[in-house]
């Protein structure tokens, strides 16, 4: 299959979306030229719950993972799909989720590709979006040549962000939560999208990779109330558990689309590894039992509170979940590198960058700057 040319576009909305990609590229150049800077927005992290989340899987030898000579297709694992549906209905309180809607696979990034290519192969060439758009999704939107329409002037952690939704049917890309700041998309925004979807019959794709990570516990996400027959949702338990060395995510798709969507995903990405498939079962079981991922969320929240109280983050968008915070570190700008608002399609917030609360180097850099400034002994930041 030949792909459209990625030549420059004149649309202002495309320029805004692609400026996010350019900002990421500029940051990459800074990190390459100045490796001594601490990358406080790093994706990787550590936490003390990895072994308890993994359980006996942490010690299973390769030979015991399963049939090593047999392909391991997650999308054909009916027990896994049923377990995912049960998790959503019983734990999250989302009755619309059924096993027939669940297409599991190895990692969220692969699904970003499939979600877009599925629409592209169905003849869709226009896409509306709210910022931010995850980098890999933006890359494919550009590469496939979609005509794009930005429906909000800013990221939805700003008060009273107006929407300019299309008047007719259109594909809408929505990222919820605003993951880099740890806040959900506003309920008024989601209510407006739901009403628009019902009125126009429009399809909505929800990149919910960082959902179910509330600091007060996991519950039903507001995007659950979008029309399940017109909504594709991406969920990623490896993000929820912050165990990125394993690859497991799933798409919740309209039942009528599930077979074709699963076939396309399999043709694009092939089978999963045995370890990832075993982990998928373990992850769903952990998230559905006891406190689920809540200990990790409380750990991230406590670390954030300590950084704020210690003066390491004097200004921040107040997060309510996840393990990223968007704030202004009390660190000399030349000592750090981070994703600023330009990486996410927003405006304002000078000096603010995404900080990974689970990244030891990032947390130590912020806390060390305060110790140096105040001449204090090291503080325990968890």
Compute how many other C-beta atoms are within 10 angstroms of the C-beta atom of residue 193. 25
Computed on alpha carbons and rounded to an integer, the radius of gyration of the chain in Å comes to: 21
**What CATH code is carried by the domain that includes residue 118?**
3.40.640.10
Which structural domain, as residue segments, surrounds residue 137?
Answer: 65-288
Q: Look up tokens 């559905």; give the residue.
A: 288
Compute how many other C-beta atoms are within 10 angstroms of the C-beta atom of residue 333. 11
pLDDT tens digit sequence for 237-253:
999 999 999 999 999 99
Beta bridge partners of 253: none
Q: Which helix (H) or strand (E) holds 312?
A: none
Residues 221, 311, single domain; the answer is no
Q: Where are the beta strands (DSSP E) in 123-201?
A: 126-129, 147-150, 171-175
Residues 235, 340, single domain; the answer is no
Residue 145 gets the label, from left (phi > 0), alpha (psi -120 to 50) or beta, of left
**What CATH code is carried by the domain that includes residue 37?**
3.90.1150.10
pLDDT tens digit sequence for 162-173:
899 999 999 999
CA distance 79 to 99: 9
Is 87 a member of any domain? yes
pLDDT tens digit sequence for 89-118:
999 999 999 999 999 999 999 999 999 999
Residues 215, 202, single domain; the answer is yes
Q: DSSP per residue over 6-46, as a string?
A: ------HHHHHHHHHHHHHHHHHHHHHH-TTSEETT-S---
Residues 282, 365, single domain; the answer is no
Residues 200, 252, single domain; the answer is yes
Domains contained in the chain, number: 2
Residues 323, 302, single domain; the answer is yes
User: Average pLDDT in the 350-364 region?
Assistant: 96
pLDDT of residue 372: 66
pLDDT at 260 over 50: yes
Q: C-alpha distances in angstroms, 112 versus 41, 70, 140, 189, 204?
A: 21, 27, 8, 23, 13
User: Average pLDDT in the 178-191 region?
Assistant: 94
Cis bond leading into 306, ω under 30°? no
Q: Look up tokens 């792909």; give the residue.
A: 3
pLDDT at 195 over 60: yes
pLDDT tens digit sequence for 2-33:
334 333 333 566 677 888 889 999 999 999 99
In the chain, count H helices and then E strands.
11, 12
Domain boundary among 253, 288, 323: 288
pLDDT at 130 over 90: yes
């Amino acid at each position: 299959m030949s792909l459209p040319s990625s030549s420059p576009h004149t649309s202002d909305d495309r320029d805004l979306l692609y400026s996010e990609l350019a900002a990421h590229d500029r940051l990459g150049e800074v990190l390459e030229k100045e490796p001594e800077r601490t990358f406080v927005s790093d994706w990787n992290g550590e936490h003390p719950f990895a072994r308890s989340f993994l359980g006996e899987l942490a010690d299973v030898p390769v030979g015991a993972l399963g049939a090593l000579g047999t392909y391991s297709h997650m999308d054909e694992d009916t027990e896994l799909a049923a377990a995912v549906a049960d998790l959503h209905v019983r734990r999250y309180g989302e009755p619309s989720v059924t096993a027939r809607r669940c297409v599991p696979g190895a990692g969220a990034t692969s699904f970003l590709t499939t979600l877009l290519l599925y629409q592209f192969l169905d003849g869709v060439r226009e896409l509306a979006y709210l910022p931010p758009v995850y980098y890999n999704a933006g890359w494919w939107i550009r590469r496939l040549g979609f005509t794009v329409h930005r429906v909000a002037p800013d990221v939805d952690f700003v008060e009273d962000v107006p929407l300019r939704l299309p008047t007719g049917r259109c594909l809408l890309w929505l990222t919820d939560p605003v993951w880099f700041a740890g806040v959900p998309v506003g309920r008024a925004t989601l209510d407006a999208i739901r009403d628009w979807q019902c009125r126009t019959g429009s399809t909505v794709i929800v990149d919910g990779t960082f959902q179910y990570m509330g600091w007060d516990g996991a519950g039903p996400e507001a995007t659950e109330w979008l029309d399940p027959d017109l909504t594709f949702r991406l969920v990623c338990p490896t993000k929820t558990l912050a165990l990125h060395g394993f690859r497991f995510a799933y798409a919740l798709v309209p039942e009528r689309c599930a077979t074709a969507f699963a076939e396309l995903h399999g043709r694009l990405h092939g089978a999963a590894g045995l370890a990832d498939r075993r982990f998928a079962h373990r992850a769903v079981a952990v998230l559905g039992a006891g406190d689920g991922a809540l200990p990790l969320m409380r750990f991230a929240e406590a670390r954030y509170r300590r950084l704020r109280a210690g003066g390491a983050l004097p200004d921040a968008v107040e997060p309510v979940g996840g393990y990223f915070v968007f704030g202004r570190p009390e660190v000399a700008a030349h000592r750090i590198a981070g994703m600023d608002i330009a990486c996410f399609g927003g405006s304002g917030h000078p000096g603010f960058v995404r900080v990974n609360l689970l990244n030891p180097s990032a947390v130590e850099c912020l806390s060390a700057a305060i110790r140096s400034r105040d001449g204090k002994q090291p503080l325990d930041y968890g």
